[in-house]
Structure 1
Amino acid sequence: MDRQVFIFRSPDRFLAGTVGQPGDREFYLQAVDGSRVVSVSCEKQQVAVLADKLGSLIGEVVRRFGEKLPAIDTTEPALETPVDPEFRVGTMGLAWDGEGSRIVVELLAITEADVTEESVLDDSADGPDALRVFLSLNEAQSFAAQAERIISAGRPPCPLCSNPLNPDGHICPRLNGYHRGDRG
Protein backbone atom coordinates (compact mmCIF):
# COMPACT_ATOMS: atom_id res chain seq x y z
CA MET A 1 0.00 0.00 0.00
CA ASP A 2 1.30 3.46 -0.89
CA ARG A 3 2.21 5.98 1.72
CA GLN A 4 -0.39 8.63 2.59
CA VAL A 5 0.76 12.17 3.34
CA PHE A 6 -2.03 14.43 4.58
CA ILE A 7 -1.04 18.07 4.00
CA PHE A 8 -2.86 21.05 5.50
CA ARG A 9 -1.31 24.27 4.21
CA SER A 10 -3.81 26.60 5.88
CA PRO A 11 -6.09 24.61 8.20
CA ASP A 12 -9.19 26.05 9.81
CA ARG A 13 -8.08 24.35 13.03
CA PHE A 14 -5.27 22.21 14.44
CA LEU A 15 -5.97 20.94 17.92
CA ALA A 16 -5.28 18.38 20.60
CA GLY A 17 -8.22 16.61 22.16
CA THR A 18 -9.25 13.66 24.24
CA VAL A 19 -11.95 11.04 24.37
CA GLY A 20 -12.82 9.50 27.74
CA GLN A 21 -12.50 10.38 31.39
CA PRO A 22 -9.29 11.44 33.18
CA GLY A 23 -7.25 8.36 33.89
CA ASP A 24 -8.75 6.60 30.88
CA ARG A 25 -8.40 9.23 28.15
CA GLU A 26 -7.27 8.65 24.59
CA PHE A 27 -5.33 11.54 23.05
CA TYR A 28 -5.69 12.78 19.48
CA LEU A 29 -4.29 15.50 17.25
CA GLN A 30 -6.66 16.72 14.57
CA ALA A 31 -6.40 18.99 11.52
CA VAL A 32 -9.59 20.45 10.06
CA ASP A 33 -10.02 22.35 6.80
CA GLY A 34 -13.65 22.76 5.79
CA SER A 35 -15.16 19.28 5.57
CA ARG A 36 -11.73 17.62 5.44
CA VAL A 37 -10.78 16.17 8.83
CA VAL A 38 -7.70 14.08 9.66
CA SER A 39 -7.19 12.69 13.15
CA VAL A 40 -4.19 10.79 14.53
CA SER A 41 -3.90 9.09 17.89
CA CYS A 42 -0.99 9.73 20.21
CA GLU A 43 0.22 9.53 23.79
CA LYS A 44 -0.34 12.23 26.41
CA GLN A 45 3.43 12.74 26.66
CA GLN A 46 3.63 13.35 22.90
CA VAL A 47 1.05 16.14 23.19
CA ALA A 48 3.01 17.65 26.09
CA VAL A 49 6.33 17.45 24.21
CA LEU A 50 4.79 18.93 21.05
CA ALA A 51 3.36 21.87 23.01
CA ASP A 52 6.68 22.43 24.78
CA LYS A 53 8.81 22.23 21.62
CA LEU A 54 6.40 24.52 19.74
CA GLY A 55 6.79 27.07 22.53
CA SER A 56 10.58 26.83 22.24
CA LEU A 57 10.49 27.14 18.44
CA ILE A 58 8.15 30.13 18.61
CA GLY A 59 10.48 31.84 21.09
CA GLU A 60 13.49 31.18 18.83
CA VAL A 61 11.68 32.50 15.73
CA VAL A 62 10.67 35.68 17.58
CA ARG A 63 14.24 36.14 18.86
CA ARG A 64 16.01 35.48 15.56
CA PHE A 65 13.61 36.95 13.02
CA GLY A 66 11.79 39.62 15.02
CA GLU A 67 8.38 38.12 14.27
CA LYS A 68 5.51 39.61 16.27
CA LEU A 69 3.14 37.48 18.31
CA PRO A 70 -0.53 38.44 18.34
CA ALA A 71 -2.79 37.54 21.25
CA ILE A 72 -3.43 33.86 21.90
CA ASP A 73 -6.78 32.43 20.83
CA THR A 74 -8.26 31.00 24.05
CA THR A 75 -11.29 29.30 22.55
CA GLU A 76 -11.60 25.63 23.46
CA PRO A 77 -12.19 23.82 20.18
CA ALA A 78 -13.63 20.32 20.35
CA LEU A 79 -12.63 17.36 18.24
CA GLU A 80 -14.76 16.72 15.18
CA THR A 81 -16.61 13.48 15.77
CA PRO A 82 -16.59 10.64 15.14
CA VAL A 83 -12.85 10.51 15.79
CA ASP A 84 -11.41 7.94 13.39
CA PRO A 85 -7.60 8.06 13.57
CA GLU A 86 -5.63 7.53 10.37
CA PHE A 87 -2.62 6.23 12.32
CA ARG A 88 -0.82 6.27 15.67
CA VAL A 89 1.96 8.86 15.93
CA GLY A 90 5.48 7.58 16.32
CA THR A 91 7.83 10.40 15.28
CA MET A 92 7.18 14.13 15.37
CA GLY A 93 9.07 16.88 13.59
CA LEU A 94 9.01 20.68 13.64
CA ALA A 95 10.44 23.14 11.14
CA TRP A 96 10.33 26.85 10.38
CA ASP A 97 9.35 27.82 6.82
CA GLY A 98 10.96 31.26 6.56
CA GLU A 99 9.54 31.97 3.10
CA GLY A 100 5.96 31.46 4.21
CA SER A 101 6.53 32.54 7.83
CA ARG A 102 4.92 29.31 8.99
CA ILE A 103 5.75 26.55 11.44
CA VAL A 104 5.55 23.08 9.94
CA VAL A 105 4.39 20.25 12.20
CA GLU A 106 4.89 16.75 10.83
CA LEU A 107 3.51 13.68 12.56
CA LEU A 108 4.72 10.31 11.28
CA ALA A 109 3.05 6.95 11.88
CA ILE A 110 4.71 4.31 14.01
CA THR A 111 6.81 2.10 11.78
CA GLU A 112 9.20 -0.83 12.08
CA ALA A 113 11.78 0.95 9.92
CA ASP A 114 14.24 3.43 11.36
CA VAL A 115 13.04 7.00 10.97
CA THR A 116 15.86 9.43 10.31
CA GLU A 117 15.95 13.20 10.24
CA GLU A 118 15.77 12.99 6.44
CA SER A 119 12.47 11.05 6.69
CA VAL A 120 10.73 14.05 8.25
CA LEU A 121 9.25 16.37 5.60
CA ASP A 122 10.12 13.81 2.90
CA ASP A 123 7.52 13.13 0.21
CA SER A 124 8.98 9.91 -1.19
CA ALA A 125 6.56 7.08 -1.94
CA ASP A 126 8.04 4.83 0.74
CA GLY A 127 8.03 5.66 4.40
CA PRO A 128 5.45 6.02 7.12
CA ASP A 129 2.11 7.78 6.66
CA ALA A 130 2.29 11.42 7.71
CA LEU A 131 0.19 14.41 8.71
CA ARG A 132 1.85 17.72 7.80
CA VAL A 133 0.32 20.96 9.07
CA PHE A 134 1.50 24.51 8.33
CA LEU A 135 0.68 26.98 11.12
CA SER A 136 1.13 30.71 11.57
CA LEU A 137 2.92 31.73 14.76
CA ASN A 138 -0.42 32.70 16.30
CA GLU A 139 -1.98 29.34 15.37
CA ALA A 140 1.03 27.46 16.75
CA GLN A 141 0.99 29.49 19.96
CA SER A 142 -2.78 28.93 20.35
CA PHE A 143 -2.30 25.18 19.74
CA ALA A 144 0.45 24.98 22.36
CA ALA A 145 -1.67 26.81 24.96
CA GLN A 146 -4.71 24.64 24.18
CA ALA A 147 -2.63 21.44 24.35
CA GLU A 148 -1.24 22.46 27.74
CA ARG A 149 -4.80 22.99 29.02
CA ILE A 150 -5.77 19.51 27.76
CA ILE A 151 -2.78 17.96 29.55
CA SER A 152 -3.48 19.75 32.83
CA ALA A 153 -7.18 18.76 32.74
CA GLY A 154 -6.24 15.19 33.70
CA ARG A 155 -5.90 13.62 37.10
CA PRO A 156 -4.27 15.79 39.78
CA PRO A 157 -0.71 14.84 40.79
CA CYS A 158 0.14 13.25 44.12
CA PRO A 159 1.78 15.89 46.34
CA LEU A 160 4.47 13.39 47.36
CA CYS A 161 5.47 11.54 44.18
CA SER A 162 3.79 13.56 41.40
CA ASN A 163 2.21 10.42 39.89
CA PRO A 164 -1.44 10.86 38.88
CA LEU A 165 -4.00 10.34 41.64
CA ASN A 166 -6.96 8.10 40.90
CA PRO A 167 -10.31 9.07 42.46
CA ASP A 168 -9.77 6.29 45.03
CA GLY A 169 -6.11 7.29 45.64
CA HIS A 170 -3.03 5.28 44.75
CA ILE A 171 -0.16 3.39 46.32
CA CYS A 172 2.48 6.05 46.62
CA PRO A 173 6.06 4.86 46.14
CA ARG A 174 7.27 7.60 48.51
CA LEU A 175 5.27 5.98 51.32
CA ASN A 176 6.65 2.53 50.57
CA GLY A 177 3.14 1.17 50.09
CA TYR A 178 1.82 2.48 53.41
CA HIS A 179 -1.09 4.88 53.70
CA ARG A 180 -0.70 7.91 55.96
CA GLY A 181 -3.36 6.61 58.33
CA ASP A 182 -1.70 3.20 58.71
CA ARG A 183 0.06 2.58 62.00
CA GLY A 184 1.87 -0.54 62.44
Structure 2
Amino acid sequence: MPTIVHGFDWPDRLVVGTIGQPGARSFYLQARAGSRVTSVALEKQQSELLAAKIDEILDELMVAEGNPITIPATTPIELVDNEPLDQPVEPEFRIGAITLGWDPSTAQVVIEAYPYDDSEDGFDDSDEFGEATPPSEVLRVKIPVGTARAFAKRTIEVVGAGRPLCPLCATPMDPGGHTCPPLDDLL
Protein backbone atom coordinates (compact mmCIF):
# COMPACT_ATOMS: atom_id res chain seq x y z
CA MET A 1 0.00 0.00 0.00
CA PRO A 2 1.43 3.44 -0.89
CA THR A 3 2.31 5.91 1.85
CA ILE A 4 -0.28 8.61 2.54
CA VAL A 5 1.64 11.91 2.47
CA HIS A 6 0.12 14.88 4.26
CA GLY A 7 2.30 17.47 2.53
CA PHE A 8 2.57 21.19 3.24
CA ASP A 9 5.26 22.97 1.21
CA TRP A 10 4.36 26.54 2.28
CA PRO A 11 1.76 26.18 5.07
CA ASP A 12 -0.28 29.12 6.27
CA ARG A 13 0.28 27.86 9.79
CA LEU A 14 2.35 25.29 11.69
CA VAL A 15 2.00 25.07 15.47
CA VAL A 16 2.27 22.82 18.47
CA GLY A 17 -0.71 23.23 20.76
CA THR A 18 -2.44 21.41 23.57
CA ILE A 19 -5.86 20.31 24.69
CA GLY A 20 -6.56 19.77 28.37
CA GLN A 21 -5.35 21.09 31.69
CA PRO A 22 -1.71 21.12 32.84
CA GLY A 23 -0.84 17.65 34.05
CA ALA A 24 -3.35 16.08 31.66
CA ARG A 25 -2.59 17.87 28.40
CA SER A 26 -2.49 16.23 25.00
CA PHE A 27 0.01 17.73 22.54
CA TYR A 28 -0.63 18.14 18.80
CA LEU A 29 1.42 19.26 15.82
CA GLN A 30 -0.95 21.00 13.41
CA ALA A 31 -0.40 22.28 9.87
CA ARG A 32 -2.84 24.34 7.83
CA ALA A 33 -2.94 25.49 4.21
CA GLY A 34 -6.16 27.23 3.25
CA SER A 35 -9.03 25.14 4.61
CA ARG A 36 -6.95 21.94 4.79
CA VAL A 37 -5.82 21.15 8.35
CA THR A 38 -3.80 18.14 9.44
CA SER A 39 -3.16 17.33 13.10
CA VAL A 40 -0.95 14.62 14.57
CA ALA A 41 -0.54 13.72 18.25
CA LEU A 42 2.86 13.81 19.91
CA GLU A 43 4.42 13.73 23.35
CA LYS A 44 5.48 16.77 25.35
CA GLN A 45 9.11 15.65 25.19
CA GLN A 46 8.91 15.25 21.40
CA SER A 47 7.56 18.80 21.16
CA GLU A 48 10.36 20.18 23.30
CA LEU A 49 13.08 18.30 21.40
CA LEU A 50 11.64 19.30 18.02
CA ALA A 51 11.78 22.99 18.96
CA ALA A 52 15.31 22.69 20.35
CA LYS A 53 16.58 20.90 17.23
CA ILE A 54 14.98 23.46 14.90
CA ASP A 55 16.69 26.26 16.83
CA GLU A 56 19.94 24.29 16.65
CA ILE A 57 19.69 23.89 12.86
CA LEU A 58 18.95 27.61 12.44
CA ASP A 59 21.84 28.59 14.73
CA GLU A 60 24.22 26.36 12.74
CA LEU A 61 23.01 27.90 9.47
CA MET A 62 23.60 31.41 10.87
CA VAL A 63 27.31 30.74 11.24
CA ALA A 64 27.78 28.38 8.28
CA GLU A 65 30.46 29.66 5.95
CA GLY A 66 29.11 30.48 2.51
CA ASN A 67 25.43 30.36 3.54
CA PRO A 68 23.68 32.99 1.40
CA ILE A 69 20.46 32.89 3.45
CA THR A 70 19.84 35.41 6.23
CA ILE A 71 18.72 33.50 9.30
CA PRO A 72 16.92 35.50 12.01
CA ALA A 73 18.56 35.24 15.44
CA THR A 74 15.23 35.96 17.14
CA THR A 75 11.60 35.44 16.26
CA PRO A 76 10.25 37.95 13.72
CA ILE A 77 7.39 39.66 15.60
CA GLU A 78 5.05 39.50 12.60
CA LEU A 79 5.28 35.68 12.66
CA VAL A 80 4.26 35.21 16.31
CA ASP A 81 1.22 32.91 16.51
CA ASN A 82 -0.46 32.67 19.91
CA GLU A 83 -3.81 31.41 18.66
CA PRO A 84 -5.23 28.07 19.85
CA LEU A 85 -5.30 24.97 17.67
CA ASP A 86 -7.81 24.95 14.81
CA GLN A 87 -10.88 22.97 15.84
CA PRO A 88 -11.91 20.24 15.70
CA VAL A 89 -8.62 18.47 16.42
CA GLU A 90 -8.78 15.02 14.88
CA PRO A 91 -5.28 13.51 14.77
CA GLU A 92 -4.31 11.47 11.72
CA PHE A 93 -1.84 9.45 13.81
CA ARG A 94 0.44 9.53 16.87
CA ILE A 95 4.03 10.45 16.06
CA GLY A 96 6.63 7.77 16.61
CA ALA A 97 9.59 9.37 14.81
CA ILE A 98 10.48 12.81 13.51
CA THR A 99 13.19 13.77 11.05
CA LEU A 100 14.49 17.27 10.37
CA GLY A 101 16.29 18.53 7.32
CA TRP A 102 17.26 21.60 5.36
CA ASP A 103 16.27 22.25 1.74
CA PRO A 104 18.82 24.77 0.42
CA SER A 105 16.97 25.16 -2.90
CA THR A 106 13.96 26.71 -1.12
CA ALA A 107 15.69 27.84 2.11
CA GLN A 108 13.23 25.85 4.19
CA VAL A 109 13.41 23.61 7.24
CA VAL A 110 11.83 20.23 6.44
CA ILE A 111 9.95 18.35 9.16
CA GLU A 112 8.78 14.79 8.57
CA ALA A 113 6.67 13.03 11.20
CA TYR A 114 6.00 9.30 11.02
CA PRO A 115 3.41 7.26 12.92
CA TYR A 116 4.21 5.23 15.97
CA ASP A 117 4.84 1.60 14.96
CA ASP A 118 2.44 -0.48 16.99
CA SER A 119 3.58 -3.80 15.54
CA GLU A 120 4.09 -6.63 17.98
CA ASP A 121 7.73 -5.88 18.77
CA GLY A 122 7.72 -2.23 17.74
CA PHE A 123 10.77 -2.75 15.53
CA ASP A 124 9.48 -4.69 12.52
CA ASP A 125 9.95 -2.36 9.58
CA SER A 126 10.50 -4.99 6.90
CA ASP A 127 8.27 -7.33 4.95
CA GLU A 128 8.59 -11.12 4.67
CA PHE A 129 11.39 -10.70 2.09
CA GLY A 130 13.47 -8.41 4.29
CA GLU A 131 12.54 -5.33 2.24
CA ALA A 132 11.87 -2.17 4.19
CA THR A 133 8.17 -1.41 4.27
CA PRO A 134 7.26 2.22 3.79
CA PRO A 135 5.36 3.95 6.59
CA SER A 136 1.58 4.04 6.27
CA GLU A 137 1.53 7.84 6.58
CA VAL A 138 3.86 10.80 6.86
CA LEU A 139 3.33 14.46 7.68
CA ARG A 140 5.85 16.48 5.61
CA VAL A 141 6.05 20.20 6.24
CA LYS A 142 8.48 22.73 4.75
CA ILE A 143 8.74 26.11 6.46
CA PRO A 144 10.94 29.16 5.84
CA VAL A 145 13.52 30.18 8.42
CA GLY A 146 11.49 32.97 10.06
CA THR A 147 8.49 30.69 10.45
CA ALA A 148 10.77 27.98 11.84
CA ARG A 149 12.15 30.39 14.47
CA ALA A 150 8.58 31.43 15.42
CA PHE A 151 7.45 27.78 15.55
CA ALA A 152 10.30 26.86 17.91
CA LYS A 153 9.61 29.84 20.20
CA ARG A 154 5.90 29.08 20.47
CA THR A 155 6.55 25.38 21.07
CA ILE A 156 8.93 26.10 23.95
CA GLU A 157 6.31 28.44 25.46
CA VAL A 158 3.55 25.81 25.11
CA VAL A 159 5.73 23.15 26.73
CA GLY A 160 6.67 25.54 29.54
CA ALA A 161 3.04 26.43 30.26
CA GLY A 162 2.50 23.19 32.15
CA ARG A 163 2.56 22.62 35.88
CA PRO A 164 5.24 24.54 37.78
CA LEU A 165 8.18 22.56 39.14
CA CYS A 166 8.75 22.21 42.87
CA PRO A 167 11.81 24.25 43.91
CA LEU A 168 12.89 21.44 46.27
CA CYS A 169 12.47 18.23 44.28
CA ALA A 170 11.94 19.57 40.70
CA THR A 171 8.85 17.43 40.10
CA PRO A 172 5.62 18.96 38.73
CA MET A 173 3.28 20.40 41.34
CA ASP A 174 -0.49 19.97 41.10
CA PRO A 175 -2.77 22.96 41.77
CA GLY A 176 -4.16 21.21 44.88
CA GLY A 177 -0.76 20.78 46.52
CA HIS A 178 2.39 18.73 46.38
CA THR A 179 4.30 16.34 48.57
CA CYS A 180 7.96 15.90 47.76
CA PRO A 181 9.12 12.31 47.43
CA PRO A 182 11.60 11.10 50.06
CA LEU A 183 15.10 12.48 49.50
CA ASP A 184 16.46 8.95 48.96
CA ASP A 185 14.20 8.56 45.89
CA LEU A 186 15.74 11.65 44.30
CA LEU A 187 19.36 10.52 44.63
Q: TM-score by structure 1 length?
A: 0.85
Structure-2 change in CA distance of 1:174 and 1:159 (3 Å): farther
Q: Any idea what SS the aligned residue of 2:99 has?
A: strand
Q: Which residue number in structure 2 is paired with residue 182 of structure 1?
A: none
Report the alpha carbon displacement of residue 100 of structure 1 after superposing the two structures with TM.
1.0
Q: 1:69 aligns with which of 44, 51, 71?
A: 71
In structure 2, C-alpha distance between the alignment counterparts of 1:115 and 1:66, rounded to whole Å: 42
Q: Percent identity?
A: 40
Report the alpha carbon displacement of residue 173 of structure 1 after superposing the two structures with TM.
2.5
Q: 1:167 aligns with which of 175, 178, 183?
A: 175
Q: Which runs of 5+ in 1 are unaligned?
A: 117-123, 178-184
In structure 2, C-alpha distance between the alignment counterparts of 1:89 and 1:169, rounded to whole Å: 33
Report the alpha carbon displacement of residue 77 of structure 1 after superposing the two structures with TM.
2.5
5 Å-filtered alignment, 1:89-100, equals: 89-100=95-106
**Corresponding letter in the other structure for 2:156:** E
Q: Any idea what SS the aligned residue of 2:159 has?
A: helix
- Shifted more, 14-23 versus 69-78: the winner is 69-78
Tell me if the contact between 1:42 and 1:89 (Cα under 8 Å) persists in the aligned partners: yes
In structure 2, C-alpha distance between the alignment counterparts of 1:129 and 1:78, rounded to whole Å: 25
In structure 2, C-alpha distance between the alignment counterparts of 1:165 and 1:88, rounded to whole Å: 27
Q: Which runs of 5+ in 2 are unaligned?
A: 126-131
Q: TM-score by structure 2 length?
A: 0.83
In structure 2, C-alpha distance between the alignment counterparts of 1:92 and 1:138, rounded to whole Å: 20
Q: Any idea what SS the aligned residue of 1:50 has?
A: helix
Report the alpha carbon displacement of residue 174 of structure 1 after superposing the two structures with TM.
5.0
In structure 1, C-alpha distance between the alignment counterparts of 2:182 and 2:5, rounded to whole Å: 46
Coordinate RMSD, CA, aligned: 2.1
- Post-superposition Cα deviations, 1:92-147, rounded to whole Å, max 9, x if no partner, equal 1000001111110011000136489xxxxxxx983241100001000100000000
The question of 1:78 aligning with 2:78 is answered no
Tell me if the contact between 1:91 and 1:115 (Cα under 8 Å) persists in the aligned partners: no
Structure-2 change in CA distance of 1:99 and 1:44 (3 Å): same
Runs of 4+ with deviation above 6 angstroms: none
Tell me if the contact between 1:51 and 1:148 (Cα under 8 Å) persists in the aligned partners: yes
